[in-house]
Structure 1
Amino acid sequence: MVRIHFTAADFTQVRFAPRPAPLAELHTALMTMCRPDQQVLFGRWRQRMFRCLPGAAGPLRDLVPGAEAPRFLDVFSETLQDARDTVRAFPPDLVRSEIERIHAPHPSPVPLWIRDLHQGEPAAWHLLHRAQHAAFETVVRPVWNLVQDLHRTEFTRHALTVAEHGIGAALTGGVPGARLHGDVWELEGPERDITLAGRGVLLRPTFHWTGHPLVADLPGHPLVVTFPAGPGLPLAPAGAKDTTEALAGVLGRTRADILLRLADEHTTTLLARRLGISNATASAHTTALRAAGLITTVRAGRAVVHRRTALGSLLVHHRTGPQGAPDGSGGEPMGQPSGEALPGRHP
């Protein structure tokens, strides 16, 4: 149980976020992707997202090796650029202490780029920003208009509740499982006591999360409570079908996966290893795709290298949206991690 202790001033400083935060919505989506208890309910969505995530997003997994993310990722700016600038502007001492806190319990070696981030190297920050952008374009961008519409609906509902019944009703009725006892607001979640001392609270709905409310508590900032709202299911673009499934319906599952991966060149052996098929099967599929004019194949030493043609890219554009490939970056898909967490708010 999370117990949040209000002062009289805090009750006058409860605000509802006027617009959604792109980086915050991304982080809750990544958290849902990594929740093992969601495999049945969100199974197809999770598999599709893991299959489509580009290699450029891989540093996010390095930064969050367990279930908790460093607090400098807890930003709620209303544009992706502002969010990245806010992350970059955190005090170096906070960044270093958070990296140490998150990575100290894990026995695996700390990746070199994380060490560089610890030292404030600009190249490491650029790598992190690129990872956030690549993940956002893949996971959230296709449904961002829907997120904005849902947020406006929640904002209106909150405003009406406050106007008709007061802030207490908004705190208990708007956040699932919340209770208000005098000046203590109780939320579902890990055992924790938080004293606001005049900082106030920012309420923020999220549409890719179905768990308990998430609390971001940064010194000197309002407490941010992110709570699940909306339909309670992974979002899909309005009127759209599963775009990856649509491509598979045209080509077949394996050939669709090969075409998606060939935004960058691959050898037959690398394709076979990434798809979990034999070299002979991979060769047969690439032969069919080459005969259809969707890929090219050239010899490089003892290997052959495949790459998507303009016609293949046009088909991917048509079937998977404006990014040209689900990864939106031309990088290697990450594949599904085995229990690793990606960034998200502190529980």
Structure 2
Amino acid sequence: MLHIRFTAEDMSRVRFAPRPSPVPELHAALLMLGAPHEGLLFGRWRGRLLRTLPGAAEPLGELVPGGAAPRFLDVLGGTREEGFALIRSARPEFVRSELARVYAGQGAVPPWVRALHRGDATAWDTLDRAQRAAHETVLAPVWPLVQDLHRAEFTRYALTAAEQGLAAALAAVAPGSRLRDGVWEWPSAPSTRSALEAPEARDDPAARGAGAAREASEGPEPGEVGEARAARATREVRLGGRGLVLLPTFHWRGGPLVQDLPDRPVVLAYPAGGGLPPAPEPRGARSDDRGLAAALGRTRAVVLRALAEPRTTTDLARRTGIGNATASAHAAALRAAGLITTTRTGRSVHHEQTPLGMLVVGTTP
């Protein structure tokens, strides 16, 4: 089991990540590659990625020699570039201590990892290329779908919290969990230990062939999660006023992945979505804009997107290429649906997206 202990201060510091974070999502996907017990549901997805994962990604597996990853890889970041930059900006002493920790008792250290330990720029370039190669193969083809799934999960959490309170919203994140006396109690997750410590993956030929499959335990605080001992013991995480960030992940089906680093908010990545890994849309499938247009109508979707910043009716008409009367009519319909607000200052009328409208078009700040 997992127990997350809140202080009174932490209750006001629970937040939901406003958008998916590429690096943790990538690491969760790579972690799933090394989980053969999920073959029934993830088998086809896993086989496809193991066949297509490029050799440039191989160094990632060498960073996880015993199934636990160095914690300088535990970053968030709103974009891929931001996440990779955060990894590279890790303090040299932290990088050295973490590499020493994961390689303790693991035998020979690859030359490039030794160079990374010394802070060699070429070794950092090797890691950067490996991350990018894995991202382009595993995550980039499905990233628009991940963004859609995240928006839906964000909305579900926000509505539950608003209507029923924090305890109900947290319980909805993990069915069977409960917030009681300041402790969020998670149910047992038997697959957590075997997946994160990955003994099966190390014995699996396909996972060895991918190399980077074992790197997956780079996900949020993998070493810490592995210590949970699954159903036999309870892991305690004390927030201590640091707060908690909830981050849904759509490629991981095991137990919660916890990033618990000093002086940072605790990040909890939890499995979300429909139970299957996101799949690339077939060629010719509708884009996000076309999907929104199908729901609202093409012109109304354009109007809603144009209101990411406040605009007068005249400015809106000019921006979208329609008449003032048409712009006013579409604004009225969007306002009635709760997607925009309209304010009047003197003789000027300004329209702007509501938080719900931002969610619908994916412009949530």
What TM-score does the superposition give when structure 1 sets the normalisation length?
Answer: 0.67
Q: How many residues align?
A: 240
User: Which residue matches 2:156?
Assistant: 157
Aligned ranges 1:175-190 → 2 under 5 Å: 175-187=174-186, 188=188, 190=228
The amino acid across from 2:129 in the alignment is: R
User: Which residue matches 2:263?
Assistant: 220
| SS class of match (2:116) | helix
The amino acid across from 1:35 in the alignment is: A
Give the Cα separation in 2 of the matches to 1:165 and 1:69: 38
In angstroms, what is the RMSD of aligned CA positions?
Answer: 1.5
User: Which residue matches 2:278?
Assistant: 235
Is contact 1:20-1:151 (8 Å) kept?
yes
Give the Cα separation in 2 of the matches to 1:105 and 1:205: 34
The amino acid across from 2:43 in the alignment is: G
Distance change in 2, residues 1:176/1:101 (3 Å)? farther
The CA deviation at 1:175 is 2.5
Deviates more, 1:184-193 or 1:25-34: 184-193
Is contact 1:5-1:185 (8 Å) kept?
yes
Q: 2:237 aligns with which of 191, 194, 205?
A: 194
* Cα deviation digits, residues 129-156 of structure 1 (max 9, x gap): 1100100000010000000000000011
Structure 1's consecutive aligned runs of 4 or more residues displaced over 6 angstroms after TM superposition are none
Is contact 1:23-1:80 (8 Å) kept?
yes
User: Which residue matches 1:85?
Assistant: 85
Gaps of 5+ in 2: 190-227, 229-233, 285-365
User: Which residue matches 1:344?
Assistant: none
Is contact 1:208-1:235 (8 Å) kept?
yes
User: Which residue matches 2:169?
Assistant: 170
User: Which residue matches 2:30?
Assistant: 30
Query: Which has the bigger relative contact order, CA under 8 A and spacing at least 6?
Result: 1
Is contact 1:176-1:227 (8 Å) kept?
no
Give the Cα separation in 1 of the matches to 2:95 and 2:24: 18
User: Which residue matches 1:203?
Assistant: 246
User: Which residue matches 2:193?
Assistant: none
Is contact 2:167-2:178 (8 Å) kept?
no
The CA deviation at 1:67 is 2.2
Gaps of 5+ in 1: 242-347
| SS class of match (1:40) | helix
Distance change in 2, residues 1:176/1:136 (3 Å)? farther
Give the Cα separation in 1 of the matches to 2:117 and 2:76: 22
Is contact 2:63-2:69 (8 Å) kept?
yes
Is contact 2:242-2:266 (8 Å) kept?
yes
Give the Cα separation in 2 of the matches to 1:76 and 1:43: 28
The CA deviation at 1:240 is 5.5
Identity value in percent:
55
Aligned ranges 1:187-336 → 2 under 5 Å: 187=186, 188=188, 190=228, 191-239=234-282
Q: Which has the higher helix share?
A: 2
